[in-house]
Chain A
Amino acid sequence: MTQAADLIERDDATGRTVILSGNLSLAHLGDLPQRIDAIDSAASIDLAGIDHIDTIGAWIVHRLAARTQAQVVGANEDANRLLDVVARNDQAIDTRPQPLHPISRVLDQIGAATKLSGTTLIGMLGFLGATVISLGHLIRHPGSIRINAIVQRLEVVGVSALGIIGLMSFLVGIVIAQQGSVQLQQFGMEVLTVNLVGRLTFRELGVLMTAIMVAGRSGSAFAAQLGTMQLNEEVDAMRTIGVQPMEALVMPRILAAVIMMPLLGFYASIVAIIGGGFLCAVSLDIPPVTFVQRLREVVPITDLYVGLVKAPVFGLIIGISGCFQGLQVRGNAEEVGLRTTAAVVQAIFLVIVIDAIFAVFFTWIGWT
């Protein structure tokens, strides 16, 4: 077994000699680097006593020799070769990029964020335009509609989501009824729970929660799929074969989202009402028959229209952000993750913004 690296300092007439011994390789250095750092002057470094050396050992010797201008003596062939290699590559290299001044960094970030928002907005508008043109083309040439692709997307976006959306809506219905009834009981008005559940789910929550779920489930999948295809140059290959990615990839997804959102939204509202009715029956002693009768009295049909008008618009937003972000992927796999996240965040944000605008609009036209 080789022994750990060690050093002895000896002073004589010619100056100080540092005598190194043992195994001068990384695993056996121990505290030698610190001890060598502490040496402030030396005339020669004696390597005759070492039995093994690697580049890290050679580097430490080289640094000491360069710092104190000492002569290296007694080095064997190995040591000389390694000393030569490290000497050839002696140049300090930055570990991290030079940091910017804090003020310029903040300005830099603000500028970059502004530029990104601007380009994304313009890009999205452009993409919306391309979608409309593509839709016009499909209407004029119905033969080029890809029925199979659309049906397949309908299944993935809609049918496969029934379970999770149903469960979520049922629970949301229970929570609204339960929270509402606790508050309304204070006024002895727990029967108004039916109004609360019926109007809230049809107007707002049914469609909004569905949109959030579809954005998370399908919007992200659109972005990830198209992003990966973009990365594999599949999209480019399609173009060269003469297939338009807008028609083959983007339209089926957007159409699926637009068609499925109203259906899923309606389904979610109904399931949420069933959830609310279930809670009313269990904890408020309102029998289901009374619940349904009361529902028909208090929920105007316009509430249903409000939900159903919003749903396809939400579907369009989800489809467009998913496909747009997916096709923006450039470069590496990391980008796919970033773009997928961006697609979901953007879709949910825009859905809520548009929902607020719709709320003002429907009040204005008197659908209250």
Chain B
Amino acid sequence: MTGSEAPPVITIRGLVNRFGEQTIHDGLDLDVYRGEILGVVGGSGTGKSVLMRSIIGLQQPQAGSITVFDQSMLDAEPGDPDLLAVQKRWGILFQNGALFSTLTVSENVQVPLREYYPDMPAHLREEIASYKILMTGLPDNAGPKYPSELSGGMKKRAGLARALALDPALLFLDEPTAGLDPIGAAAFDEQTRELQQTLGLTVFLITHDLDTLHAICDRVAVLADRKVIAVGTIEELLALDHPWIQEYFNGPRGRMLHGHAASAGKAPA
């Protein structure tokens, strides 16, 4: 499969997640390679968000191993210097932005800088926050606003600016375009792609949005039956004979999309 020549940034082997009787993941394997945008898709309740939470350490799995930047995430205690070193190198955009509601947008972006680099001069921190905010496409008056004054799309952009505050090498995006209008979503996709290329990011992206998959993902991982049933480019996935994958990409919405992409004379991914 494509991208496998680069070293993996995230390696997951035999992941098992259970909530009571309910098994979410059972022996899940996945690799994310440096410099790619990996889209993660799956029906509702297949554990996309649980997978992300397991990787970033918010959910303790029952079994399996997860390594990020060659550091095992499962036996690290909170505050462990090895874990902190990994946390400095990733940025996470939660579904609704998860901005700190008592801080302004600019202060939100400065939180990671303040936390990890307390010796940084204040003016430099403010300058960094300024260009990060502009870089994510927010207007120049967004800095002193509180999260409650922002629209859904602006919250996501502000969340992205905070996720990018430390110039991470790895970015997690949880349904970044959900709830945005198609124009806003397309702009967000384009921005993500541009940032990924400029900054050389590795992106782990959970989405339901077929447009996003076609527009920016290098590879797509499909979650079903408590496992990753397939990983590959959209063409590779289309060649597989799995009913859910066929339904997903060849359903009315999917068909329209890659029909359109083919007629435009370019590959969909």
Contacts and interface: CB of A to CB of B under 8 A. Distances in A.
B135 A81 contact: no
B120 interface: yes
Contact of B131 (A86, A94, A98): A86
Contacts of A63: 127
A89 interface: yes
Q: In the complex, which of the residues A25, A56, A59, A81 has the most CB atoms of chain B within 10 Å of its own CB atom? A: A56
B142 to A, nearest CB: 7
Residue of B124, B144, B199, B200 contacting most chain A CB atoms (<10 Å)? B124
B126 interface: yes
B104 interface: yes
B129 interface: yes
A89 B198 contact: no
A12 interface: no
A23 B100 CA distance: 32
Contact of B166 (A26, A81, A96, A332): A26
B193 interface: no
B128 A56 contact: yes
A93 B106 contact: yes
Contacts of A82: 198-199
Interface string B116-136: 010011001011111111110
A56 B107 contact: no
Contacts of A151: none
Contacts of B126: 92-93, 95
Interface residues of B, number: 31
A27 B165 CA distance: 12
Interface in A173-193: none
B121 A94 contact: no
A93 B134 CA distance: 9
Contacts of A55: 131-132, 135, 167, 199
A97 interface: yes
Contact of B101 (A78, A86, A88, A334): A334
A118 B140 CA distance: 36
Interface in A94-123: 94-98
A234 interface: no
A90 interface: yes
A125 interface: no
B148 interface: yes
A96 B133 CA distance: 14
A28 to B, nearest CB: 11
A90 B129 CA distance: 11
A54 interface: yes
Contacts of A95: 104, 106-107, 110, 126, 129, 143-144
Contact of B117 (A26, A90, A331): A26
B148 A334 contact: yes
A34 B130 CA distance: 19
B88 A27 contact: yes
Interface residues of A, number: 31
A88 B134 CA distance: 9
Contact of A92 (B124, B130, B145): B130
A85 interface: yes
B11 to A, nearest CB: 22
A27 B85 CA distance: 10
Contact of B127 (A59, A88, A332): A59
A95 B108 CA distance: 10
Contact of A90 (B131, B143, B148, B200): B131
Contacts of B166: 26
Interface in B79-128: 88, 101, 104, 106-107, 110, 117, 120-121, 124, 126-128
A59 B148 contact: no
A9 interface: no
A33 interface: yes
A332 B167 CA distance: 30
A81 B198 CA distance: 7
A59 B166 CA distance: 13
A91 interface: yes
B167 A54 contact: yes
A27 to B, nearest CB: 7
Contact of A96 (B88, B104, B135): B104
Interface-central residue, A27, A90, A332, by most chain B CB under 10 Å: A27
A40 B133 CA distance: 28
Contacts of A97: 104, 144-145
Contact of B121 (A34, A88, A96, A331): A34
Nearest to B113: A26
A96 B104 CA distance: 7
A219 to B, nearest CB: 25
A95 B128 CA distance: 11
A37 interface: yes
Contacts of A56: 128, 167
A60 B143 CA distance: 21
Given A91-B140, A96-B104, A331 B148 contact: yes
Q: Which 8 A/B pairs are nearest by Cβ-Cβ distance?
A: A93-B143, A89-B134, A54-B167, A93-B130, A89-B131, A95-B106, A94-B144, A97-B144
Given A33-B120, A59-B127, A95-B110, 18 more contacts: A26-B166, A55-B131, A56-B167, A59-B128, A82-B198, A86-B131, A88-B134, A90-B131, A91-B131, A93-B140, A93-B142, A93-B144, A94-B106, A95-B126, A95-B144, A96-B107, A96-B144, A332-B101
Interface of A: 25-27, 33-34, 37, 54-56, 59-60, 63, 78, 81-82, 85-86, 88-98, 331-332, 334
Interface of B: 88, 101, 104, 106-107, 110, 117, 120-121, 124, 126-135, 140, 142-145, 148, 166-167, 198-200
